Chains A and B, each alone.
Chain A
Amino acid sequence: MTALAVLRAGPLTTVQDLGRPGLAALGVSGSGALDRGALRLGNRLVGNDEGAAALEITVGGFSGVVDRDVWIAGTGAWGPVTLGNRAIDPNHPVFAAAGTPIEIGVATFGLRYYLAVSGGVAVPSVLGSRSRDILSGIGPPPLLDGDTVPIGSPRTGAIPALDVAPWSPPDPETVTVPLHAGPRESWFTPASLDLLFSEPWTLGSASNRVGARLEGPVLERSAAGEGELPSEGMVAGALQVPPSGQPTVLLADHPTTGGYPVIGAVASAALDVFAQLRPGQRVRFRHARPL
């Protein structure tokens, strides 16, 4: 069987596909690639089904080598990526001959690379997905130096001819994201709801696949929100506000239930942005078009 040998895994490299939706009632979150658009693009570039598993490489510092000729594509974050001695561009299908090392350096735009390989990463699936859920520990463990992961058989026929996909790098400036009203908006003061949209928020360094922690003005509870909220079902994109008043955007590996009130919910089409925000980078919210 074809395999990808991981020489250096970097700070966090996991296998991700489009996750395991539909199990939240059993306490299992959707998980899957944080930047789903980048995963799907990578797979299309190398002729895979969009939902094939790829490597989600956080920050960079990764190197690996395959033992059979494959097509690869790096999507998501932009940074120095080389195949053998040759620099390769993002969002670009590249032929990788067996034995040629792939090196992915520290990202200069965005935070999470996706390395798609023709045939897809073929580790055994758990509950219908090959994704690692870092909160529940379901799915293949994060990769370590020296691991090998199996690569599936590519689809027969040529991959789609495409030189480069016209995608911009992840935005390094302040990003503006549409936010829907949340179910527990009334738990917050009107002034806090104004601040939510008027002030910029900074991505905190404790952010991960579970949630993007935002730092900014304190969001205060209204008189109506002084009680304790019984735990309720949560979704990716929910902006949960703990007693500190500093909100967290729940991401793919979020707990299925939570007891902090949700002040807003990121429009699902914009959620991929949070995969590529870098700690210290700013984000602003604007009102999403009403549903």
Chain B
Amino acid sequence: MTTLRAVGDRAVIVDCADLEAVLALHAALAASPPDGVIDLVPAARTVLVTFDPSILAGDRVAGWIRSTPPVRPGALGDAGDALVLDVEYSGEDLGEVASLLSLTEREVVDLHTASVWRVAFVGFAPGFGYLVTDSTRLAVPRRSSPRTSVPAGAVGLAGEYTGVYPRSSPGGWQLIGRTDAPLWNADASPPALLTPGRVVCFREAS
């Protein structure tokens, strides 16, 4: 069950039941955008669709969204075409995360590397992907006070998500490691390594 709400005269936001429904609707819409659609922005419980009303009228956009059947993404069990990111698990919050989850640090790392993740959406900063997996075993709250500066490549956990800071910025995620992967390159197409829908695995750097 989806609800459409206009956001002014150039955008519609679709409320979805859960993140899985977001991924399914986003995948379906991304496969068939009519001319005049500018952006499809998935988020935790919504998909935002922006459009140019001089090319495509708002009621046509709504009709397209309503008539597009969601596409359930494939099961995450199959990691065959996953992007692999090498991570040094030396994050400052690894101990804190382990104690929050009543696990050892080793078990946190093993859970993080054994899970297959999918980029649900990108937000907060260019190229900052929110990755989810089938289990919520690694869910932790954000830090109570955010850091004023988190280095580029820092791998963190917050809520049900894992993510990697594409560049240095303030941030409140619990940091468990770091990677050298080039997450953002303005000269590349696409400029972000992590794009919505991408399947990702983390591997412990030796």
Find residues 1-15 in chain B having any chain A CB closer than 8 Å to their own CB. Answer: 5-11, 13
Cβ contact of B38, chosen from A22, A257, A267, A291, cutoff 8 A: A22
Taken together as a complex, chains A and B put the C-alpha atoms of A182 and B13 apart, in Å, by 10
Taken together as a complex, chains A and B put the C-alpha atoms of A207 and B45 apart, in Å, by 29
Taken together as a complex, chains A and B put the C-alpha atoms of A266 and B9 apart, in Å, by 9
Q: Mark A163-182, 1 if CB is under 8 A from B, else 0.
A: 00000000000000000111
Q: How far in angstroms is the closest Cβ of chain B from A289?
A: 10
Which bucket holds chain A's interface residue count? 20 to 34
- Assess whether A230 is in contact with B45, with CB atoms less than 8 Å apart: yes
Q: How far in angstroms is the closest Cβ of chain B from A251?
A: 13
Known: A21-B39, A230-B45. A257 touches B123 (CB 8 A): yes
Number of interface residues of B (CB under 8 A): 35
- Assess whether B40 is in contact with A25, with CB atoms less than 8 Å apart: yes
Known: A25-B196, A233-B13. A127 touches B8 (CB 8 A): no
Q: How far in angstroms is the closest Cβ of chain A from B35?
A: 12
Of B103-111, B139-147, B186-194, the segment with at least 4 beta carbons within 8 Å of chain A is: B186-194
Total contacts A-B at CB 8 Å: 113
A199 at the interface (CB under 8 A from B): no
- Assess whether A183 is in contact with B43, with CB atoms less than 8 Å apart: no
- Assess whether B124 is in contact with A235, with CB atoms less than 8 Å apart: no
A206 at the interface (CB under 8 A from B): no
Known: A138-B126, A231-B123, A233-B43. A267 touches B8 (CB 8 A): yes
B48 at the interface (CB under 8 A from A): yes
- Assess whether B39 is in contact with A27, with CB atoms less than 8 Å apart: no
- Assess whether B11 is in contact with A235, with CB atoms less than 8 Å apart: yes
B131 at the interface (CB under 8 A from A): no
Among B11, B44, B47, B196, chain A packs the most CB atoms within 10 A around the CB of B11
Find residues 150-180 in chain B having any chain A CB closer than 8 Å to their own CB. Answer: none
Known: A25-B195, A256-B123, A257-B123. A232 touches B13 (CB 8 A): yes
* CB nearest to A180 among chain B residues: B8
- Assess whether B7 is in contact with A265, with CB atoms less than 8 Å apart: yes
Taken together as a complex, chains A and B put the C-alpha atoms of A255 and B128 apart, in Å, by 12
Taken together as a complex, chains A and B put the C-alpha atoms of A53 and B163 apart, in Å, by 35
B95 at the interface (CB under 8 A from A): no
Q: Mark B103-123, 1 if CB is under 8 A from A, else 0.
A: 000000000000000000111
* A181: chain B residues within 8 A (beta carbon): 6
A126 at the interface (CB under 8 A from B): yes
Taken together as a complex, chains A and B put the C-alpha atoms of A210 and B125 apart, in Å, by 13
- Assess whether B191 is in contact with A235, with CB atoms less than 8 Å apart: no
Known: A136-B125, A237-B8. A232 touches B45 (CB 8 A): yes
* CB nearest to A28 among chain B residues: B126
Cβ contact of B126, chosen from A27, A230, A288, cutoff 8 A: A27
* B191: chain A residues within 8 A (beta carbon): 23, 26, 28, 127
Taken together as a complex, chains A and B put the C-alpha atoms of A208 and B176 apart, in Å, by 35
* A267: chain B residues within 8 A (beta carbon): 8-9
- Assess whether B10 is in contact with A235, with CB atoms less than 8 Å apart: yes
Q: How far in angstroms is the closest Cβ of chain A from B198?
A: 11
Known: A127-B186, A232-B46. A262 touches B192 (CB 8 A): no
Q: Mark A23-37, 1 if CB is under 8 A from B, else 0.
A: 111111000000000
Find residues 271-291 in chain A having any chain B CB closer than 8 Å to their own CB. Answer: 288, 291
* B192: chain A residues within 8 A (beta carbon): 26-27
Taken together as a complex, chains A and B put the C-alpha atoms of A291 and B8 apart, in Å, by 8
* B9: chain A residues within 8 A (beta carbon): 180, 265, 267-268, 288, 291
A238 at the interface (CB under 8 A from B): yes
* CB nearest to A239 among chain B residues: B8
Taken together as a complex, chains A and B put the C-alpha atoms of A181 and B9 apart, in Å, by 10
Ranked 3 nearest A-B pairs via Cβ: A233-B48, A265-B8, A233-B41
A residues within 8 Å of B by Cβ?
Answer: 21-28, 126-127, 136, 138, 180-183, 230-235, 237-238, 255-257, 262, 265-268, 288, 291
Instruction: A26-B126, A27-B126 given; name 5 further pairs at CB < 8 Å.
Output: A21-B50, A24-B38, A26-B122, A183-B5, A233-B43
16 sampled A-B residue pairs with Cβ under 8 A: A21-B50, A23-B191, A24-B38, A25-B195, A28-B126, A28-B191, A138-B126, A232-B43, A233-B43, A235-B8, A238-B7, A255-B124, A256-B41, A262-B7, A265-B8, A267-B9
